[in-house]
Copies of this chain bind each other. A is one copy, B any other.
Amino acid sequence: MSENTEQQYKQTRAQSLAFCEPLNDEDCSLQAADFVSPPKWHLAHTSWFFETFLLKPFADGYLTPDSRYEVLFNSYYNGVGEQFPRPNRGLLSRPTLTDVIAYRAHVDAAMNTLLSDQAHPEQATIAARTTLGVEHERQHQELFFTDIKYSLAVNPLLPTYIEGTACSPIPNRPSEWHRYEGGLTEIGHFGSEFCFDNELPRHKVFVAAFELADRLVTNSEYQAFINDGGYKRPELWLSDGWTTANQKGWQAPQYWLQHEGAAAEYTLHGVVPREADAPVCHISGYEADAYARWAGARLPTEFEWELAAVSSTNDADTNSVASSEVASYHPRASNGHAGLRQLYGDCWQWTQSAYSAYHGFSPSSGAIGEYNGKFMSNQWVLRGSSCVTHRDQARASYRNFFYPQDRWQFSGIRLARNTSGNP
């Protein structure tokens, strides 16, 4: 096994525990909606993944600490078997957090043995699956942040995940359009680095010429949309979006609030003043689409986004969790370089593309093939990465996907338009 794989395994596993440090035991069991999971469950499920797809098939004599974990911590792999009902994950006070941490240690010990077995006949598969498991755990680290933010926000005390030092506001430059000529091009991951199966195969797509905004839409721009009746004008909305917005009573992004008379928002540092030039965040795809229509623009397709991102030389990620000692856990304004700004590390960017298979897509066989493929309906693709995405997952071909009504991710807006200037 490459030292790199082993090292990434250890770092990632340690990182998951470290992220839970600021929380108490009760926080670790919180689940405020069906679509979020408690921190403890994330810790357990990521261990289950290694146990299920590596230890049970490849580690001779491996014994699970509790055979019932197979059902309890299975997320959605029908090929593995039954699953404990998702909406009840927050009701699993047992196994306790201590039990789950012991489960992690048990899995880690067995994984270390497996990874150091240079003579294992399935070494290649083991390496590949370990990498997949590491990437999987990084995705759950991001979900850890979005989920605990959502669950803590239900509490009227609006608790902080961790105390933070307020950052100085950064003034934002006006948005500029960058022009791309498009043409018959190739889309999808290339090169030897890891990618998920849904980024493949690289395949031909025709993309017409288009323009892309060089930065994300800001809070003050989104406020102007609201002030202009954005949430009250059906002509700006998709029909399903209009229905959803009314049913849920949306009037603003998920975590916006008024605090002592001033514009504020709830963050993982608690309630902070709402920075006018920071990217608007925690909006649904429907809101992103309505904003774009209001602005005389449109959302980019995922192909436009990828094509622009590939050609960008400015993909430096300055705001993601793993990138610095002092994480902000919140998107920041950008006043930087002249290229496309805020591609990564601030907000995921909604595209207008429905999440579907690339031409020639073929999922892995067996339960592991359920990782991505079976979700290819009703969701929209988001591109880029956010302030809580692992830095190594920030790449041009990464396809994130959520339902257009979802708002609990760090999701924002980058505008596009045709070269005619029309949407």
Contacts and interface: CB of A to CB of B under 8 A. Distances in A.
A205 B206 contact: yes
A26 interface: yes
Contacts of A235: 78-79, 369-370
Interface stretch (A27-35, A135-143, A311-319): A27-35
A28 B68 CA distance: 23
A180 interface: no
Contacts of A94: 26-27, 152, 155, 157, 159
A258 interface: no
Given A25-B24, A25-B25, A155 B91 contact: yes
Contacts of A32: 88, 91
A352 B356 contact: yes
A237 B84 CA distance: 20
A120 B94 CA distance: 48
A208 B359 CA distance: 8
A240 B379 CA distance: 10
Given A238-B377, A374-B239, A93 B155 contact: yes
B155 A374 contact: no
Given A24-B25, A91-B32, A84 B234 contact: no
A206 B234 contact: no
A105 interface: no
A151 interface: yes
Given A155-B92, A203-B208, A378 B240 contact: yes
A375 interface: yes
A203 B309 CA distance: 24
Contacts of A377: 238-241, 286, 289, 354, 404
A376 B286 CA distance: 11
A178 interface: no
A76 interface: yes
Contacts of A68: 156-157
B375 A238 contact: yes
A404 B378 contact: yes
13 contacts: A32-B88, A32-B91, A76-B239, A78-B242, A79-B235, A84-B156, A92-B155, A93-B151, A93-B152, A184-B184, A204-B206, A360-B422, A362-B423
Sorted nearest first, the 4 A-B pairs with minimum C-beta distance are: A354-B354, A78-B234, A26-B93, A206-B206
